[in-house]
Amino acid sequence: MRQYTLFVPSCLCVRNILRNLPAAPFAAGLRRPINALGSRAMNKAPLLAGLAAFTLLSTPAAAQKSPEAVAEAALKKAPVFDGHNDVPWALRLRVANVINGFDFQDTTDTAKPDATPPVIAMHTDLNRLRKGHVGAQFWSVYVPSNTNEQQAVQQTIEQIDVMKRLAARYPNDLMLASNSVELEKGMKAGKIAGMLGIEGGQSIGSSLAVLREMYGMGVRYMTLTHSKTTPWADSATDAPKYDGMTDFGRQVVQEMNRIGMIVDLSHVSEATMKDALETTKAPVMFSHSGVRAVNDHPRNVPDSVLPLVKANGGIVMIVFLPGFLDPKVRAYGLDRTAIEARLKSQYSGDPAAVTAGLKEWDAANPVPKTQIAKVAEHVDHLKNTIGIDHIGLGGDYDGMDSAPEGMEDVAGYPALFTELARRGYSQADLEKIASGNMLRVLKAVEAYAASQTGAPPVETPVAK
């Protein structure tokens, strides 16, 4: 049953409504005294009829829209611009980047349950991107953290290449943009517009020359670290070496600003976040992170940093990985790590026993399920602390092994937007979260780079 919200209008509004209503039932219902059970029963029907008519006339049309309708309208006007998707890495793992015969229209049959370890089906394909109202996507050209930086540079170029080839295979659906104008033009043409993002500073081999050439290949953001500390910046999930960034790390940020590459602070330590925010002259992004106030994970953004993000004009794009979202899943992971360590100590030299013991524990302790509401809690915290203008979404699809129920793949964005609408987010709010805020950041980074036209590149000596 549709429910309506009664509000108190002005006196003039009341007079106009009463003037146009049938006088007898409504006036009788409001004016007759209710002094006894009999008179109350006698007056109940006309009173309710009058109030119902008054309510229907006084409720704004927008307030009558369902959460589903609000979400659908927002996504139709502002399709999702997601901050992080690992399709290029999925292609490397599954088909070694040999994609001429790969069907990206529908990847739902790509699971390999009998493989060791088992492989789940991909989260992403053209059909589900359309269903999820994804209009733009940062494709992560991720390669693992590697102390052999020359190898990391080569692998990153291979990942750039495979994503360009994938886009070329589906010209009616995909396109790669070099700037915000091209990206918005592609979105308006009904294509899924894309940009490339490097995930981890190892991909530039500690070289500003390589950084500049990566920009030339189409890379438009770089996550300063991945899971390991680089030679110039501390990671959130590795032992700190520099209490943030080195002088060279600050030069990396300065050169990214100059050429128009977005500084991405997902994966970096809190000290690195603060050093980068102190150094940058352009807005930053967190391409796929949660907030620590909701789940105390080192990969998430602490409240001490959020005001700096607001002052910078940056954006935090909420990740969908349950371990980053949900304290229950985080606690489960810590317990499992402790069990594995104990088994390795108990069965030193007997890896089969360790595997068997861990399998038995897994069977008795299933991973807790995470709900869409948990994603919304992270969004709520950002809205309440730094405001709606600094929120985006970076799902991390095809870079994680599970997702919240109802958002198992890239078709699930509408379910999240419906949940947010149910919590009172307006259509304008949802449009900002979907893509408006990320487009603003992208344009601001481009504008700063344009203001630096003629400024010389940051130079560092190379080995002789």
DSSP symbol at 203? G
Calpha distance 41→19 (Å, rounded) = 26
Q: Which residue among 123, 133, 226, 390 is the active-site one?
A: 226
* Catalytic residue selected from 125, 199, 264, 409: 199
Q: Give the lowest-confidence range in 26-30, 280-284, 379-383, 452-456.
A: 26-30
Q: Domain check: are 221 and 314 in the same one?
A: yes
Active site residue 173: no
- Among 72, 82, 125, 267, which one carries the catalytic annotation? 267
**Does residue 179 belong to any structural domain of this protein?**
yes
Give the model's pLDDT for residue 146.
Answer: 87
Task: Report the pLDDT value the prediction gives residue 38, as an integer from 0 to 100.
Answer: 41
Residue 40 pLDDT exceeds 90: no
Instruction: Enter the tokens of residue 403.
Output: 């997702």
Do 19 and 83 have their domain in common? no
**CA 174, CA 155: separation in Å to the nearest integer?**
23
Give percent of the chain above pLDDT 90: 84
Q: Kindly state whether residue 392 falls inside one of the protein's structural domains.
A: yes
Q: Are 132 and 124 a contacting pair, CB within 8 Å?
A: no
- Decide if pLDDT at 450 tops 90: yes
Transcribe 368-413 into DSSP letters: PP--HHHHHHHHHHHHHHT-GGGEEE---BTSSS---TT-SSGGGH
Same domain, 16 and 89: no
Active site residue 86: yes
Whether 348 maps to a domain, the answer reads no
- With beta carbons less than 8 A apart as the criterion, state whether 272 and 224 touch: yes
Where residue 285 falls (left for φ over 0; alpha for ψ -120 to 50; beta otherwise) is: beta
Do 261 and 390 have their domain in common? yes
**Cβ–Cβ < 8 Å for 318, 383:** no
- Cα–Cα dist 239/243, whole Å: 10
* Inter-CA distances, 159 with 60, 203, 309, 398, Å: 51, 11, 30, 14
Q: Which of 224, 390, 370 is nearest to 294 (CA)?
A: 370
Are 25 and 150 members of one domain? no
The DSSP output letter for 267 is T
Residues 271 and 260 sit within 8 Å (Cβ to Cβ)? no
Model confidence band, residue 60 (pLDDT cutoffs 50, 70, 90): low
- Regarding whether 49 and 184 lie in a shared domain, the answer is no
Same domain, 27 and 157: no
Considering the domain architecture, whether residues 25 and 39 belong to the same structural domain is answered as yes
> Would residue 238 show up in a list of annotated catalytic residues for this protein?
no
Q: Which residue has the tokens 């958002």?
A: 407
* Other beta carbons within 10 Å of 232: 21
For Cα atoms 258, 263, 265, give the angle at the middle one, nearest 5 degrees: 160
Taking Cα atoms as reference points, which of 363, 322, 323 lies closest to residue 339? 363
333 in any annotated domain: no
Q: Which residues lie closer than 8 Å to 334 by C-beta, 6 or more apart?
A: none
Considering the domain architecture, whether residues 159 and 18 belong to the same structural domain is answered as: no
CATH number at residue 218: 3.20.20.140
Distance CA 352, CA 359 (A): 11
On whether the CB atoms of residues 291 and 382 are closer than 8 A, the answer is yes
Decide: helix, strand or coil at residue 366. coil
Query: Can you give the pLDDT at residue 20?
Result: 46
pLDDT digits (tens, 9 = 90+) for 76-112: 999 999 999 999 999 999 999 999 999 999 999 999 9
If asked whether residues 28 and 157 sit together in one domain, one would say: no
What's the pLDDT at 464? 83
Structure tokens at 427: 């259509």
Closest CA to 71 of 439, 419, 432: 419
Return d(Cα 166, Cα 95) in angstroms, integer. 13
- Same domain? For 49 and 95 the reply is no
**Three-state secondary structure of 339-351:** HHHHHHHHCCCCH
Residue 424 lies in a domain: yes
Residue 360 annotated in active site: no
Q: Is 84 one of the annotated active-site residues of the chain?
A: yes
Kindly report, residue by residue over 133-146, the tens digit of the pLDDT: 999 999 999 999 98
Summarised one tens digit per residue, pLDDT across range 351-393 is 999 999 999 999 999 999 999 999 999 999 999 999 999 999 9
Residue 355 lies in a domain: no
**Mean pLDDT, the chain, integer:** 90
Omega of the bond leading into 117 within 30 degrees of 0 (cis): yes
The domain boundary, picked from 24, 39, 64, lies at 64
With residue 392 as reference, give the H or E element that holds it.
strand 391-393
Give the pLDDT score at 117.
84
Catalytic residue among 84, 123, 133, 297: 84
> What is the number of domains present in the chain?
2
Which candidate in 288, 297, 381, 390 is catalytic?
A: 288
Q: In sequence order, which ranges of 148-246 are alpha helices (DSSP H)?
A: 149-169, 180-188, 208-216
Q: Could you read off the pLDDT of 162-176 as tens digits, one per residue? A: 999 999 999 999 999
Pairing of strands 391-393, 315-318: parallel
pLDDT digits (tens, 9 = 90+) for 213-268: 999 999 999 999 999 999 999 999 999 999 999 999 999 999 999 999 999 999 99
Q: In Å, how far are 19, 168, 447 from 94, measured between CA atoms?
A: 71, 20, 39
Burial-class residue 443 by CB neighbours within 10 Å (0-12, 13-18, 19+): middle
Cβ-based burial of 371 (10 A; exposed 0-12, middle 13-18, buried ≥19): middle
Identify the pLDDT of residue 1. 43
Which pLDDT value is given to residue 13? Answer: 43
How high is the pLDDT of residue 41? 42
Mean pLDDT of 328-350: 96
pLDDT of residue 63: 55
- Domain range for 384 is 67-326+370-451
Q: Give the Cα separation of 237 and 449 in Å (integer).
A: 31
Tokens representing residue 1 in the block = 């049953």
pTM of the model: 0.86
Per residue in 24-36, pLDDT (tens digit) is 433 333 333 334 3
Domain boundary among 64, 79, 94: 64
Task: State how far the Cα of 224 lies from the Cα of 221, in Å rounded to an integer.
Answer: 9
- Are residues 24 and 173 both part of a single domain? no
Whether residue 4 lies inside any domain: the answer is no
How far is residue 289's CA from residue 292's CA, in Å, rounded to a whole number? 9
Q: Name the catalytic one among 86, 264, 275, 377.
A: 86
pLDDT digits (tens, 9 = 90+) for 388-437: 999 999 999 999 999 999 999 999 999 999 999 999 999 999 999 999 99
Query: Which tokens in the block code for residue 434?
Result: 């979907």
- Of the residues 396, 398, 419, 431, only one is catalytic, namely 396
Q: What percent of the chain has pLDDT over 70?
A: 86
Tell me if 421 is assigned to some domain: yes
Q: Cβ(305)–Cβ(270) under 8 Å?
A: yes
